[in-house]
Structure 1
Amino acid sequence: MTRFLAMGRMTDAMSLLRRFSVFHILGAYILSIVGLFVIAQPFGSAPRALCRWDCFWYERIAARGYDLHPILDGFEAGMADWAFFPLYPLLLRLVSYMTGMDGHESGMLINIVLLPVLALLSLSYVRRKGYVADHVAYWTILFMVFPTAVWYRFPYTESLYGALLVGCAYAARVGSIGLACGLAAGLCATRPTGLVCVVSIGLFRMLGTWRPGVAGSARQMGVRFLEGAAIIAVGATGLAAFILYLDRLTGDGLAFLHIQYSWRHSTHLPTTWLWYGLTHKGLTVATVLDLLAFSIIPYGFYIGWYFESTVLLLTFGLATSAGLSSVHRYVFANPFCLMLILTVIDKSTPLVRYSVLILALCVDYILLESWFYGYAFLM
């Protein structure tokens, strides 16, 4: 009898546990991974199908380090891997060493782990900010399968960059300055736009604008100023370390910037590039996608997400000043952009919410297939 009572209690406990959002989120995420393996089967395997374009550069850096000289022949003549920042290749090498997996598998594993971490970090961030997601499981699942989240599954820096950005902003917001500084250094060592994000986080901490209406004493303002300055200073060490390394390796500490000319990137005003894209037929699609990404930013300012919108605006401006390729990826794959989109959808009617979820799954499938076939608009 006792045994049956114990089994009954266990069944009741499991029934209760299933009501928690974590089981819905985990179940949906596992299904999405299984689906990814299924649709990638005709292309050999999911890790192999996911690795396109920049993925090979990251894997080469992870396997043998940075080049001493630019490539001299072939399709990549004049290019060098100095354009790619070191934190993701280091993580790729570490995971490969610890698991024995090859580069393709290690890159996929990194994103499998980081995507739910980023989704839950983003949920915690918006709730801490004062926005309460009404449907936690729905919000988190949609975050992971929304079309703009497709880049989080590619073996690129998007998931790592997003987790570091949201983690750093969240830590600074709650006053964990030591953690914010460490994450800021990682952010600056992941991508060139990391520095503008870190400067934004530091400045907003200095000004105390993350706590509107609370001016505080002169001492409190001084402390916040020093905390913001520390985030910027320590964060910049991530970029400084890469500059010093390149200087020692190649004699040019800014080689990551100068080598961009090999990819036909040149510095102009964003408006110049956008006008050029609109007036040249081959760049129309990229330009329209870039402008569509930009359209999210004014909405962020309108609803009072000043810090997040500033980060998106600076990211867009910096990326567009060098060309039109990948600009929409830098903005759409920024978690702040996805947060802004989801705040609108989450407040909609059940019919709209679940229609969006079904549509998102369909578009996600199309985008993954496009990536597997090598369509470059997702680069």
Structure 2
Amino acid sequence: MTDLAFSATAGPAAAGRGAGAALRRAVPALAAYAAIRLLGLVVLAVWSAAAGKDWQTLLSARWDSLWYTRVAEQGYGYAVLLPGGEVHSNLAFFPLLPWLERGLSALLPLSAAGAGLLVSAAASVAAAWALYATGERLNGPRAGVTLAALWAAVPIGIVQSMAYSEALFTALAAWALYAVLTGRWLWAGVLTSLAGLTRPVGAAVVAAVWAAAALHLWRERSREGRVAWRQHGRLLAGAVLAPLGWCGFFLWVAAREGSLTGYLDIQAGWNNGFDGGLAFAAFTWRLLTGPALPAGLALVAGVAAVLWLYVLGVRQGRPVPLLVYGGLVLALALTAKGYFGSKPRLMLPAYPLLLPPAAALARWRPRYAAAVLGVLAAGSAVYGAIWLNGSGPP
């Protein structure tokens, strides 16, 4: 199977031909992805008009989008003191998306918010391409198309079209892990470093790259148990590059706040952080024992479903970097102690969870698989419209 070719050893002409061929193979996946997301946007626009709201504002100028825009326009240093004494600082938001918003708004006749929508649109397509390439490599072209379509049709898929950082992060993470799968360690390191500048969960990509590198070195050891380090210069360079973005921002915030735990303190001000899932378990128990029992049962079923998908991937022997990454994204989302309504959004980058159903659907007759994807796409479109016109993402 031909890999996406921007290999370090290929010449520019060969790399260009390889990338062009890879893009041509991905066209069906990108078309399916674009159609599903376009359906979501059309339903959102119609629903918002009926509710007397502006759908573009919902996508680009509410919730976290406003915080990213403020960073792009004014830089870091803004904070809000809430009546309860909590401090919401914009240092909680990683810088790559605001940097891109600022750069694009300076080059193009766009506001920072409009630039954020453009970044998400381009990044979501790039992510769909990476998902296709991953599915193609592991289970064939039909699985690649199905994987991209499934990611577009998840219930929370509308976030991919918002001026949020999930689409950008998923694109960088997915290409970084694809680079690992194809042995392009320098690309993996660079892309992982950029992912680490995008969201806190960039640490999961670093862990996946390191796990893959360690496994590769273990397999390449000599009969005497030694590793020929000189033969693995690119791997080691990629492993060194991988954490620079995440660590760099974390340490910059630490220096700015005068505390090594500065970023964690900022998150605590948002009533966020990690407690091993205790707060989430208590929240679920309150739903199950109160008047919101149906919501509690739906929540338990949803968590059980994503855990089952992860276990299924492990049982199917999915590649180690995908399992490490998907498992950590899932674990970090479920063990965060605040913003329970955000958990589906936090799990959006965990695309490896979709590999088992994508492979299964790819074995179905095309019309049956298309029917399933159509139902999922319609449900995602309606859910996204209701969600953004209601409580929306915190």
TM-score category, normalised to shorter length: 0.7 to 0.9
**Counterpart of 1:108 in 2: which secondary structure?**
helix
The residue identity in structure 2 corresponding to 1:369 is A
Answering whether residue 373 of structure 2 is matched by residue 357 of structure 1, we say: yes
The 1:77/1:103 distance shift into structure 2, 3 A limit, reads farther
The Cα RMSD (Å) is 3.3
Once the two structures are superposed, what CA deviation does each residue of 1:197-246 show, in whole Å capped at 9, x if it has no partner? Answer: 2122122122129x9xx756477764677655433432221123213432
Relative to the length of structure 2, the TM-score reads 0.77
Answering whether residue 200 of structure 2 is matched by residue 184 of structure 1, we say: no
Aligned equivalents of 1:28, 1:316: Cα separation in 2? 23
Q: Could you tell me whether the CA contact under 8 Å between 1:331 and 1:337 is conserved in 2?
A: no
Of 194-203 and 216-225, deviating more is: 216-225
CA apart distance, 1:335:
2.3
Identity of aligned residues (%): 21
Segments of structure 1 that go 5 or more residues without pairing to the other structure are 1-18
Answering whether residue 376 of structure 2 is matched by residue 371 of structure 1, we say: no
Of 334-343 and 31-40, deviating more is: 31-40
Task: Specify which structure has the bigger relative contact order, considering alpha-carbon pairs within 8 angstroms and separated by 6 or more residues.
Answer: 2
The 1:374/1:232 distance shift into structure 2, 3 A limit, reads farther
1:111-150 equivalences in 2 (<5 Å): 111-128=120-137, 130-134=138-142, 140-150=148-158
1:320-339 equivalences in 2 (<5 Å): 320-323=334-337, 325=340, 326-339=342-355
The 1:88/1:341 distance shift into structure 2, 3 A limit, reads farther
CA apart distance, 1:297:
0.7
Answering whether residue 90 of structure 2 is matched by residue 81 of structure 1, we say: yes
Structure 2 residue aligned with 1:60, among 70, 80, 86?
70
Aligned equivalents of 1:141, 1:280: Cα separation in 2? 35
CA apart distance, 1:304:
0.6
CA apart distance, 1:165:
0.8
Higher Cα Rg, which structure: 1
Aligned equivalents of 2:327, 2:147: Cα separation in 1? 24
CA apart distance, 1:178:
1.9
Once the two structures are superposed, what CA deviation does each residue of 1:77-96 show, in whole Å capped at 9, x if it has no partner? Answer: 52111111111111122222
**Counterpart of 1:79 in 2: which secondary structure?**
strand
Partner of 2:9: none
Partner of 2:167: 159
Partner of 2:306: 293
Residue correspondences, number: 354
Answering whether residue 317 of structure 2 is matched by residue 304 of structure 1, we say: yes
CA apart distance, 1:289:
3.5
CA apart distance, 1:334:
2.1
Q: Could you tell me whether the CA contact under 8 Å between 1:208 and 1:224 is conserved in 2?
A: no
Aligned equivalents of 1:306, 1:31: Cα separation in 2? 28
CA apart distance, 1:172:
2.2
Q: Could you tell me whether the CA contact under 8 Å between 1:202 and 1:229 is conserved in 2?
A: no
Answering whether residue 275 of structure 2 is matched by residue 262 of structure 1, we say: no
Structure 2 residue aligned with 1:22, among 21, 24, 27?
27
Answering whether residue 286 of structure 2 is matched by residue 280 of structure 1, we say: yes
Q: Could you tell me whether the CA contact under 8 Å between 2:325 and 2:350 is conserved in 1?
A: no
The residue identity in structure 1 corresponding to 2:318 is W
Aligned equivalents of 1:154, 1:103: Cα separation in 2? 13
The 1:177/1:360 distance shift into structure 2, 3 A limit, reads same
Segments of structure 2 that go 5 or more residues without pairing to the other structure are 1-23
Aligned equivalents of 2:237, 2:29: Cα separation in 1? 40
